[in-house]
Amino acid sequence: MKKSLLIASLSVFSFVGYAQEVNENAPEITFEKMTIDYGKIEKGADGNREFVFTNTGKEPLIISNCKGSCGCTVPSWPKQPIAPGESASIKVKYDTQRVGGINKTVSVTSNAKTPKVTLRIRGTVKAPAKEPQTVPVKNKNGGSAIQVR
């Protein structure tokens, strides 16, 4: 009996939660791309990219927070409201001193109809190519030569 009462209570609370009215005029954040592929880049290359978006809703869009999935991915975003029809961008700086694969996310929180959006960056940071070293050596005839290692 207690189990049935608990299930019935949870069902009512769940229904009430879904019954909240949706603001039809709410801002909508529409990105040109949800993923940016850095491709293969050299260590120390420019790690700056940007996600361009437009407010396709009917009210001003306010981005309250953007957070990278780790300290190597640092986003910056517009702090002022974005009017309906206007475009702006979220800039992302990835630390290209870290060699290896890039597969990071940026979580965006706003007052849009979809209040949380996840953006993705990917690619590979290549280690710098080793330059051949030349070493002077003496040959059998007493002369010198250069050996490449």
Model confidence pLDDT, tens digit, residues 14-39: 444 555 577 889 999 999 999 999 99
Which CATH code for domain 23-127? 2.60.40.10
- Burial class (CB within 10 angstroms; exposed 0-12, middle 13-18, buried 19+) of 22: exposed
Average model confidence (pLDDT) across the chain: 85
Task: Give the pLDDT mean for 108-123.
Answer: 97
- Cα dihedral across residues 29, 61, 113, 85: positive or negative: negative
pTM equals 0.73
- pLDDT value of residue 129: 79
